[in-house]
Amino acid sequence: MVIKPPRKNKNPPFLSNEFIIQNHGDIVSCVAMVFVLGLMFQATSPIASVFIILQHAITTAESDQKKADYVVQYTNGALDWAAIFFYSLIAIVVHVILQEYALDKANRKLHLSKTRNSKFNEYGQLLLFALFSVAWGLHILFRDDSFTGLSSLWANYPEDHTKLSFRLKFYFIIQIAYWLHTFPELYFQKVKREEMPARITYACIHLVYITAAYLLSLTRLGLVLLVLHYLSEGTLHASRLLHFAELTKQSQQGFKTYNIMFVGLRLVSLIIAIITLVFGFGSLPAQGIDIATGNFNSAIVRYACLVAVCALQAYMMWNFLTFHLRKRRERRAEIAAAQKKKQQLAKAAKKAAKKGSDDEVALLPEVDQNTRRRR
């Protein structure tokens, strides 16, 4: 009688690292549901509403001869970090859903390696968020009454800029929450150590600039620059996904489009930032720093923001140029190696042909002698 060995339990131990990684979507969704259920009870509703509902609301009345309309606007404040924490949990849950129902299915069809699989998942998530941010940002630009032209980026600062519409404030809350959620995702997605510095740097740059625009009441300028930035980044990530899918012709067209868009949008971003920060805010009568009213229109702050924007554009342009120069050197090296190999093969063929002709000439006397003997 053959005794079968006991089957190994494939389920990891409870609350182990592997258990948390495999079930982090369910765990985080349960934590988020605690806050949602808190709204249903009177005792916990005030606390739960701080995390779910946007805080620091201001109600103003706009009256005319027939009726009075009440407009709800928002300012920034300390309670916003509670909402950022909650929506970072939602971002983790959405990340898991997109990964399981969209990206994993695409990976099974493409049969990618582990390295390419990790890159495919990263670029897929970034592409979806870039498309979402561009569509939502354009919706705010066209639907929000505060955006009427280029001068609206600095007009009536700080009175109108400290009062945000629901769409605009929620947009920045989601932006900050998304880039915060990328840090725990490094653990949940088992990102390799050599890939972590690049991802952390990428997330920190977005987080610092978006948070600075939100706290300094520069949300209008920040929104325009973010839409332009995500437009070029979305094109890049889409081209990378086409490359992984082995759609060479489409990916090459996408990369060419990105190269043109990148240079053009960097230049447009610089022009908008210079016009707004130097000429726009510089011409306003309200100069100085007043934290109570949200006024940061001082020369130091303006030029510090301008230097930060220019430094970021220069950093991205430097990476862009170094990448293409490295690729050009690699192509030249490959072409030179191919030509050298071709020349070596040609020389070897000539030597072989010459050696073969010499052997034939050496065999001719022997052939003549054999024929004479037979005669």
The answer on pLDDT for 361 being more than 90 is: no
pLDDT class for 5, splitting at 50, 70, 90?
low
Tell me which of 17-31, 139-153, 348-362 is least confident.
348-362
pLDDT at 54: 93
Q: Rounded mean pLDDT of the chain?
A: 87
Helix (H, G, I), strand (E, B) or coil at 54: coil
pLDDT at 209: 96
In sequence order, the 6+-apart residues with CB closer than 8 A to the CB of 81 are none
Contacts of 138-147 spanning 24+ positions with Cβ under 8 A? 138/227, 139/167, 140/165, 140/167, 140/168, 140/171, 140/223, 141/223, 141/224, 141/227, 143/167, 144/168, 146/220, 147/220
Query: Which amino acid appears at position 298 of this protein?
Result: S
The answer on pLDDT for 231 being more than 60 is: yes
Tell me which of 30-44, 188-202, 227-241, 335-349 is least confident.
335-349
Q: What gap in Å lies between CA 290 and CA 274, rounded to an integer?
A: 23
DSSP 150: G
In this structure, what is the dihedral angle of CA atoms 142, 144, 148, 151, given to the nearest 10 degrees? -120
Q: What gap in Å lies between CA 278 and CA 323, rounded to an integer?
A: 32
Tell me which of 27-41, 73-87, 275-289 is least confident.
275-289
Determine the average pLDDT of the residues in 63-79: 74
pLDDT at 344: 79
Residues 207 and 179 sit within 8 Å (Cβ to Cβ): yes
pLDDT at 305: 95
Phi, psi values for residue 355, rounded to 5°: -65, -40
Angle between helices 24-38 and 80-98 (to 10 degrees): 140
The answer on pLDDT for 1 being more than 50 is: no
pLDDT at 115: 81
pLDDT at 332: 87
pLDDT at 92: 96
The answer on pLDDT for 311 being more than 80 is: yes
Tell me which of 67-71, 74-78, 355-359 is least confident.
355-359
pLDDT class for 199, splitting at 50, 70, 90?
very high
Tell me which of 38-42, 100-104, 347-351 is least confident.
347-351
User: What would the pLDDT profile of 259-308 be if each residue is shown by its tens digit?
Assistant: 999 999 999 999 999 999 999 998 888 888 888 888 899 999 999 999 99
pLDDT at 112: 84
